[in-house]
């Protein structure tokens, strides 16, 4: 009778961690990053950054691909300082920490030519239901309950602007199993309270979609949002440059949905249920 034994497959990062620990004798945990301050910066500039977290060590290695780390200063196991010179290429960059164990934080730093605002919890006002606002995030906290939030800062329509955020599965519901429609994001005229355009999700198994409605237009005008491996994928970008409003997923332009200026500033309203919103940023562009 044959006996079968299971084999655990480990990642390259885990292999590196094991080798580093055996060489250094460190008994620490992998470095944990709670917050990078600031988490955005201008291209081709030099400045100081603060890492907040835990299990930092004096000789911890810090890497941001394609950026220059000029200096590093250990403050405590919860705080670490670095001086960085950014490159000219806009985009999101990972932060890699190595104290004998390697921790990689994907898209931790945004480099963009503009003024970036990451909301704090008090920037969101609960309209109905329940949910949890955090720094840059909105999360569902109760199963089968929709949380609707107003984003309190207005969007100044006299400027070129961009909002970006990621969709991720909430802790409760797989999007394949959810039913019904959820308004993901709505844009209101701040004075008239008129809905100008919106995006909403309709989970339909592997045919799940993100729809867009513009100024009361037929919602047959939609774009797909792919779901891979049972998870929401893609960074959603909505922007206005020279009064041309565009919708993008992962920097691929899908639609120009409006041309021309708006008379009043905009208010944003978000909804969470089976999808959470992460890494939300409002950017006023230096165009």
Angstrom distance (rounded) from CA 39 to CA 93: 10
User: pLDDT 10s per residue in the chain (287 long)?
Assistant: 454 444 455 566 556 555 555 554 444 699 999 999 999 999 999 999 999 999 999 999 999 999 999 999 999 999 999 999 999 999 999 999 999 999 999 999 999 999 999 999 999 999 999 999 999 999 999 887 889 999 999 999 999 999 999 878 788 765 545 445 566 788 888 998 877 766 665 554 444 455 555 444 444 444 444 444 555 667 888 889 988 888 777 766 666 666 677 889 999 999 888 778 999 999 999 97
CA angle 210, 212, 214 (to 5 degrees): 175
CB atoms within 10 A of CB 114: 20
CB atoms within 10 A of CB 20: 16
Is the entire prediction scored with pTM above 0.85? Answer: no
Strand partners for 212: 199
Q: What is the pLDDT of residue 180?
A: 52
Tokens standing for residue 137: 């995030």
CB atoms within 10 A of CB 204: 13
Exposure string of 259-281, with b = 16+ CB inside 10 Å and e = fewer, is eeebeeebbbbbbbbbbbbbbbb
DSSP states along 244-270 = EEEEEETTEEEEEEEES--SS-EEEEE
Angstrom distance (rounded) from CA 107 to CA 118: 14
Structural domains of the chain ordered from first start = 12-112 (2.60.40.10), 115-285 (2.60.120.200)
Name the nearest CA neighbour of 85 among 60, 61, 68.
68
């Amino acid at each position: 009778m044959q006996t079968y034994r299971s084999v655990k497959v480990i990642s390259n990062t885990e292999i590196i961690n094991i080798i580093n620990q055996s060489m250094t004798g460190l008994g620490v945990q992998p470095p944990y990053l709670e917050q990078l301050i600031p988490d955005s910066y201008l291209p081709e500039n030099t400045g100081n950054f603060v890492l907040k977290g835990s299990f930092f060590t004096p000789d911890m290695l810090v890497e941001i691909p394609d950026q220059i780390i000029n200096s590093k200063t250990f403050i405590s196991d919860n705080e670490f300082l670095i001086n960085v010179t950014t490159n000219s290429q806009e985009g999101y960059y990972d932060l890699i920490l190595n104290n004998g164990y390697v921790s990689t934080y994907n898209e931790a730093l945004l480099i963009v030519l503009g003024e970036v605002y990451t909301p704090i919890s008090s920037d969101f006002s609960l309209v109905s239901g329940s949910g949890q606002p955090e720094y840059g995030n909105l999360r569902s906290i109760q199963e089968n309950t929709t949380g609707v939030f107003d984003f309190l800062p207005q969007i100044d329509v006299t400027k070129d602007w961009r909002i970006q955020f990621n969709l991720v599965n909430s802790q409760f519901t797989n999007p394949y199993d959810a039913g019904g429609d959820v308004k993901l994001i709505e844009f209101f005229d701040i004075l008239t309270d008129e809905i100008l355009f919106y995006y909403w999700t309709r989970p339909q198994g592997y045919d799940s979609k993100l729809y867009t409605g513009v100024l009361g237009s037929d919602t047959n005008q939609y774009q797909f949002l792919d779901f891979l491996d049972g998870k929401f994928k893609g960074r959603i970008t909505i922007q206005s440059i020279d009064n041309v409003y565009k919708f993008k997923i992962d920097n691929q332009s899908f639609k120009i949905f409006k041309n021309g200026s708006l008379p009043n500033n905009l208010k944003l309203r978000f909804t969470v249920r089976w999808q959470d919103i992460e890494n939300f940023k409002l950017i006023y562009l230096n165009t």
